[in-house]
A and B are shown apart, each in its own frame.
Chain A
Amino acid sequence: MSTYTTNEDLELAVLESQATETPDAAQAPRSDRLSSLDTLESEAIHIIREVVAEFERPALLFSGGKDSVVMLHLATKAFWPGKVPFPVLHVDTGHNFPEVIDFRDRTVERLGLKLVVGSVQEFIDRGELAERADGTRNPLQTVPLLDAIQRNKFDAVFGGGRRDEDKARAKERILSLRDEFGQWDPRNQRPELWNLYNGRHTVGQHVRAFPISNWTELDVWRYIEREGIELPGLYYAHEREVFERDGMWRAVGEVSMPLPHEEVVTKLVRYRTVGDMSCTGAVVSEARTVADVVVEVAASTLTERGATRADDRISEAAMEDRKKDGYF
């Protein structure tokens, strides 16, 4: 293995590599290095195993969204031939897409997992949460989430959050300590060194673990394609009745009704993120297969949250504020 010691040496190396590389050779993965996807997969599995080994009662946030589906897939690989050794936790806003809830239940059934559900609707019914003026329920998830964590004594909660999603998430640790109120303190985070994760916490504290922190949206899709992972159908192009609001296409549904001036049209759309029907927009797309989606995401000029999430458009620091309050 040669080491470049001067700029001139590197210059030569660059020229040599340009001269000798055929198009085929340039495209073949180097045999002595893992591909970026393999490296990210190994890193995620290492983190999942560390958390399971060091915590008493972990759980995985599972919404049926693509990132949580990838997380669950990684967990099945991490413990093969054993079963995934923790339950999954879903905070049901009551505004979820029915096909996603159906997918969630089928997945849990197929893998023989325990499902814990925290219900926003129940909190509203009991008067412990109030419906927001804008009808969005995503920010309301925090209270039922913390309640489920406390009732089940979960000391570590896996999430599918990625640092490329948002500028506040870019500063998130892989293991993120939360206090009794679930709060994130971005100015007082533990340094994360090498691959040594410090998950020590005191009674009442818990840890959020983000094993796919270093993945991008494109990595997630390439991985879904490579591994043949099943997703809810609404991630792929399908015909749907939609109406335009705030520059986004919203699905027509029980909790997402058009106002009189909003015209309902049928369009070929797909979802890039799957949150609530009431705040998640669809994108016009012809990507019917995972391969189509990979191409579409690679060429996209908008971020997934910017394109499709009303909840992140509230202010420049919408995600940061939610995270400080205990959101994942």
Chain B
Amino acid sequence: MSTETALLETGLRESTLFRFATAGSVDDGKSTLVGRLLHDSKAILADQLDAVARTSADRGFGGAGATGSQAIDLALLTDGLRAEREQGITIDVAYRYFATDRRSFILADCPGHVQYTKNTVTGASTADAVVVLIDARKGVLEQTRRHLSVLQLLRVAHVIVAVNKIDLVDFSESVFREIEADVQKVARELGLGREDSNTGGITDLFVIPVSALDGDNVVDRSDRTPWYGGPALLEVLETLPAADELESHLESFRFPVQLVIRPQGALAPDAVAAGLDVEAYRDYRAYAGQITEGTVTLGDKVTVLSPGHEPRITTVTGIDFAGSELAEATAPQSVAIRLADEIDIARGDTIAAAGTVRESSADLYAALCWLSPKPLREGAKVLVKHGTRTVQALVRNVTGKLDLATFNVEAASSLELNDIGNAQLRLAAPLPLENYLHHRRTGAFLVIDPVDGNTLAAGLVKDHPGDHEDERYVI
């Protein structure tokens, strides 16, 4: 990658967005790696560098005679909060931004040592790829297995394992190969890194030797690892297809309705935007939302799913975006859709490609990533937020807890902070639930505490036990 010219070009032409997260254990150099990526991709500007250089000098980093990026503690670039700087740790997920001439990147930097499940789940939920760090001197740890388990569960499209501190093992190929083999063994056990149409697995796996401190194989390929023929970390990130590219062929159109746009509604008689003719929009009615999956084309037949109604089939007569009429729109576009028939549609309803959705269900089988210090107990009443609808739910039972180190399911009757388990819930109203394996958006939900409103868990919809794809009524 070139330097200043790359930045200039980025400013002048269209690039695409790629979201990735980092996960690692304590002291495996994650902050340094993130700092190195930002530094070497020129995302760190002079005033930030000056501030970090001053602090590095205060703390005696690098020693006498160190120059350039060796004279600064790159980890300081990612320190955010006062407590983090004081304690030298990272507390919360932080978001970083940088761009190359190919792509704009959003990096969710997830701390690993406390609440690693919570942070990894949060970062991975929106990520196209996750970079997991391993210290070359320590190899695959239990924490590594846990991270990979969570990524497999969340169906992250690409997993990149960075074997860091390769300089501290003298750039040894045998050390790297051993770790690589261990990683692949764990991946095989978890089902990572292979395409599997039965499970919907679309993950793939890369293992890269890096030195975050010196920059080997981070932005540019290193000549100190001649035995490694693969690409540098940034090259991989620049080239991988984003999740929505991979998923576009798997999914059909899904559109949770956020709100109804009806400028002549009873509440606001003059609610048409300035400069528009009131009369022209007297009968305007459109359903606003963000397409979660697939593509919609003018004239498409769609099914409208609303609780308390039979599924209704109608036709798309308009796809509007801020005054433009579109012929088609695709995820993740935000649009407003007009339909042929005047039917009662409200926030929380779903518009979907006709003939592709299952019957809504009030029985929810799910994997729950428990993110709250308040444990889950059987019989608890919670709220479930799915798409644009929030419903009450009763936790009927917890059916097991995942041992993240072995990936075995063990018997359990409650879930604690950072546990991942299976549970069965009864919903107060049916929801158009879909298996998370095939639908990363319509298969995801939040569990919310009805008392204080806090988010308790990330939920992944599973099929009903014994259920087969073709046995349920498709509408």
Contacts and interface: CB of A to CB of B under 8 A. Distances in A.
Interface string A194-218: 1110101110000000000110101
Contacts of A170: 80, 94-96
Nearest to B441: A194
Interface stretch (A79-87, A116-124, A236-244): A79-87
Contact of A303 (B45, B270, B453): B45
Interface stretch (A98-106, A147-155, A183-191, A268-276): A183-191
Interface stretch (A5-13, A132-140, A252-260, A277-285): A5-13
Contacts, number: 270
A78 interface: yes
Looking at B97, B205, B208, B444, the one whose CB has the most chain A CB atoms below 10 A away is B97
Contacts of B261: 79-82
A167 B336 CA distance: 36
Nearest to B284: A81
Looking at B194, B241, B441, B448, the one whose CB has the most chain A CB atoms below 10 A away is B241
B126 interface: yes
Given A213-B95, A297-B11, A298-B7, A191 B455 contact: yes
Interface in B422-468: 440-441, 444-446, 448, 452-455, 458
Contacts of A10: 206, 230-231, 236, 239-240
Interface string A206-232: 000000011010110110000000000
Nearest to A167: B80
Contacts of B202: 3
Contacts of A25: none
Contacts of B126: 193-195
B344 to A, nearest CB: 17
Looking at A40, A194, A222, A303, the one whose CB has the most chain B CB atoms below 10 A away is A194
A307 B121 CA distance: 36
Contact of B274 (A3, A110, A297): A110
Interface in A9-44: 10-11, 13-14, 17, 27, 29-30, 32-43
Looking at A38, A39, A168, A221, the one whose CB has the most chain B CB atoms below 10 A away is A39
Contact of B125 (A38, A194, A200, A300): A194
Interface in B310-358: 320-323, 330, 332-334, 336, 347
B231 A80 contact: no
A303 to B, nearest CB: 5
A93 B272 CA distance: 33
B334 A46 contact: yes
Interface size class of chain A, counting residues whose CB lies under 8 Å from the partner chain: 35 or more
B259 A49 contact: yes
B106 interface: yes
A32 B122 contact: no
Interface string B220-248: 00000000011100011001111011101
A8 B230 CA distance: 6
A200 B446 CA distance: 12
A163 interface: yes
Contacts of A32: 245, 248, 330
A198 B455 contact: yes
A303 B92 contact: no
Interface size class of chain B, counting residues whose CB lies under 8 Å from the partner chain: 35 or more
A82 B273 contact: yes
A298 B231 contact: no
B175 to A, nearest CB: 17
B265 to A, nearest CB: 8
Contacts of A202: 452-453
Contacts of B332: 34, 39, 42-43, 46, 195
Interface stretch (B24-32, B81-89, B164-172, B298-306): B81-89
Nearest to B387: A196
A11 B268 contact: no
Nearest to A5: B204
A5 B452 CA distance: 44
Contact of A35 (B14, B48, B79, B85): B14
B322 to A, nearest CB: 4
Given A5-B194, A11-B229, A49-B259, A295 B245 contact: no
B242 A306 contact: no
Contact of B14 (A29, A81, A191): A29
B121 A191 contact: yes
Interface string B254-298: 000011011100001011111010000100100011101000000
A193 B443 CA distance: 13
B51 interface: yes
A314 interface: no
Contacts of A49: 258-259, 288-289, 334
Nearest to A48: B334
Contacts of A213: 95
A78 B288 contact: yes
Interface string B97-122: 10100011010000000000011011
Interface of A: 1, 3-5, 7-8, 10-11, 13-14, 17, 27, 29-30, 32-43, 45-46, 49-50, 52-53, 76-85, 110-112, 163-164, 167-168, 170-171, 186-187, 189-196, 198, 200-202, 213-214, 216, 218-219, 221-222, 294-295, 297-303, 306-307, 316-317, 320-321
Given A214-B97, A302-B46, 16 more contacts: A1-B245, A7-B231, A10-B206, A10-B240, A32-B248, A36-B15, A82-B272, A82-B273, A191-B458, A193-B121, A198-B455, A200-B453, A218-B11, A299-B11, A302-B47, A316-B85
8 contacts: A5-B205, A14-B235, A45-B290, A52-B259, A80-B322, A81-B272, A196-B385, A200-B453
Interface of B: 4, 7-8, 10-17, 45-48, 51, 55, 79-83, 85, 91-97, 99, 103-104, 106, 118-119, 121-122, 125-126, 193-195, 202, 204-208, 229-231, 235-236, 239-242, 244-246, 248-249, 258-259, 261-263, 268, 270-274, 276, 281, 284, 288-290, 292, 320-323, 330, 332-334, 336, 347, 371, 383, 385-386, 388, 440-441, 444-446, 448, 452-455, 458
